[in-house]
Structure 1
Amino acid sequence: MSVVMRGRSARGWGLVAMLLLAIAACRESGSDPAAAPAEPVAAVQAMAQRLAEDDLVGYAKLSVPPSQYQRLQQAWADGHSQWPLTGLPLGDQLLPMLAALREPGASVQLQRSFDRQLAGQARAVRQAAQSMGNFGVQYLRHQKGYTPGQQAHYIQLVQTLAAWAQDAPISDRARARSSIAALVGAAAQVGFQDDAGLQAAGMESSLQQLAPFIHTLKAVLASYGLGVDEALRSVRGELLSVEGDNALVRLQYELAGRAMTVQVPLSRREGHWYLTRTLADTDALLRQADAARAAAAPDPVPAPTTDGEAATPSAKP
């Protein structure tokens, strides 16, 4: 993949990731930051607060029960997981993005790419944003597998982003130079850029190293008029229903000057509430990790017979 293409992936990953972090957010909670709250709305609030503070480790700890968190750490160490990074939109582009930003001369090459494609092209950018927004809405309207509420929210999100992009100073050369320099500098502080480095660093160390990079991404977006932290602070939560260990929460927040609404299901496990989708995803991931670990385990050594020789397995009928 060329530096130009990876640069595009980097910008796209950062934008979408930060926006969808806002979807899961709510106002600051007064609960203990080290423990998952016992109420659905408070659970979402606590996770959102960790994200607003760029505390990715804290967010991960609040996203799953403690016993599952430990298993996810082990799965990471074994090379079978990169959660919670895989939970981010376009998470598979994170390492290519870091690699592109860490290449020698990345600032110069990315600036040249910007100059060729976007510099001074305000009208073209507006038209492209409008076209992509229209395409995204039509795609979502014909896409199967979403609930009506999910579909409505995703359409609202696409329309909001398209409207923002049409007015954002995306073609501003000086702003691009500053943004590229900030991202390249932040990427240089991350101590890995491939799967092996990520595994060697461990889950918590990797998240701690990525936190300043995520902070820089949010600052870059804010410089273009997309205030992710403002969206995080604006969200309000309302408990709609609780049935046994299942709850439904309505979140309302402001993004790029528009009011957004989304309903989020939560599930109670080990006495605390977690996002239902996160639990389903991590349950599936851990099943796969367990299967991979079992497949890689050596065959058991046959037990010796009474005369000291290894027993010969009996032939299958």
Structure 2
Amino acid sequence: MRLPFVRHALLPLFAALVLSACHGKDQASQPGGSTPEAALRGSVDLLKAGDFTGLWKHALPPADYANMRADWGRHQHDQPPITAEDRAKFDETLQKLTEPGAENKLYAELQPKLTTMEQQYKDQLPVLVSVGEALVKNGVAQSKTLSEAQKAQANGVLDVLAPWAQQTPWFDRAKAKQAVAVAVATARKLDLKNPEQLRSMSFDDTMGRYATGYAGLKQLLAIYGLSVDDTLNSVKLTPVSSSGGHAVVKIDYTLLGKPLSTESKLVQQDGRWYSEDMLDSARKAHQQSGQPAGGASVSASADAVAKQD
């Protein structure tokens, strides 16, 4: 992702927004929630639906959402030029994934590679996964964008995912064939023509492509036994405290059948509740973009977004 906030928010988004509740009647399209539980419930509903435009609009106050959209547009136009090598790699990959009969051609190419990889790495896979887990955990520990609670949550998730990755039959031919079919179908749905298209897409168009990629990713993970929807559906939350415009909610959920829990801090803005970590990340990213944090420009941007909707 090109916008730093969007990239760094993915882990907190999973940790703080993988939630649901039986109460809270707010519409998910509204910014924030009338209660902390309603705010989180709306975010999870949008995440389950793959509505990323709606998710960001719901997760941020109107002015902050407008700033994020404006910053996104500036970052889109501030990328280095596309080289001939970049274009050639893009075209080659796109052709392989979308040409007629791509599923059969790609699987035919993959079969001998699977045999080779199985012979070379099957016995080493548990060690390789352990090394990878250690590297990721070190990265989490060194992160300056994650809170201590988010780091603890990330480590808990990794403790569940690592055994799964060690035991998953990655070299299974039938599963590989299904995965290739999903990858090809997803690439066709993305409907990308050239690298320039990626640079010229609006925020809404980009979020729409993310939704398509997200749906494909969920299918791929499900093939290998990890259901994102099962995790989202398993969440239960319990209010812990609420005072002075700040609230804490305890989150319990299961990942691959293993129980996990964390806490989410929320803050009230203009009578609506938002994730405190999400809001802080959005505002820091906006400040780093060199744009003013408030004033008439923010109000004007918010008004412009409101007119679009």
Q: Same fold (TM over 0.5)?
A: yes
2:281 is matched with: 281
Q: How does 1:1-317 map to 2 (within 5 A)?
A: 21=14, 24-27=17-20, 30-35=25-30, 36-79=32-75, 99=90, 102-106=93-97, 108=106, 111=110, 114-115=113-114, 118-119=117-118, 121-133=121-133, 139=138, 149-192=149-192, 196-291=196-291
Letter of the 2:19 counterpart: C
> For 1:283 and 1:155, how far apart are their aligned partners in 2?
26
Q: Structure 1 residues 19, 118: closer, same or farther in 2, change over 3 A?
A: farther
User: Percent identity between the aligned chains?
Assistant: 21
Does the aligned pair in 1 maintain the 2:241–2:248 contact within 8 Å?
A: yes
Q: Structure 1 residues 288, 237: closer, same or farther in 2, change over 3 A?
A: same
Letter of the 1:242 counterpart: S
- Structure with the greater alpha carbon radius of gyration: 1
- Structure 2: unaligned runs, 5 residues or longer: 1-9, 79-85, 293-309
How big is the shift at 1:179?
Answer: 0.9
Q: What is the alpha-carbon root mean square deviation over aligned residues? A: 3.6
Does the aligned pair in 2 maintain the 1:101–1:187 contact within 8 Å?
A: no
TM-score, L = length of structure 2 = 0.71
How big is the shift at 1:150?
Answer: 4.0
Does the aligned pair in 1 maintain the 2:90–2:195 contact within 8 Å?
A: no
Deviations 1:145-197 (A, max 9, x none): 67664443332211101111122121213312321331233123224488853
> For 1:19 and 1:141, how far apart are their aligned partners in 2?
12
Deviations 1:88-146 (A, max 9, x none): xxxxxxx99x9599433256397269526634654332342244345655x37975867
> For 1:203 and 1:163, how far apart are their aligned partners in 2?
37
Q: Structure 1 residues 155, 229: closer, same or farther in 2, change over 3 A?
A: same
How big is the shift at 1:261?
Answer: 0.8
Does the aligned pair in 2 maintain the 1:40–1:249 contact within 8 Å?
A: yes
Q: Structure 1 residues 284, 148: closer, same or farther in 2, change over 3 A?
A: closer
Aligned residues, how many? 262
Does the aligned pair in 1 maintain the 2:73–2:202 contact within 8 Å?
A: yes
Q: Secondary structure at the match of 1:278?
A: helix
Does the aligned pair in 2 maintain the 1:140–1:154 contact within 8 Å?
A: no
> For 2:220 and 2:12, how far apart are their aligned partners in 1?
13
> For 2:13 and 2:172, how far apart are their aligned partners in 1?
25
- Structure 1: unaligned runs, 5 residues or longer: 1-16, 83-94, 293-317
**With CA pairs under 8 Å and 6+ residues apart, which has the higher RCO, 1 or 2?**
2
TM-score, L = length of structure 1 = 0.69
Does the aligned pair in 2 maintain the 1:64–1:274 contact within 8 Å?
A: yes
Q: Secondary structure at the match of 1:123?
A: coil
Greater fraction helix: 2
Q: Secondary structure at the match of 2:124?
A: helix
Letter of the 1:258 counterpart: K
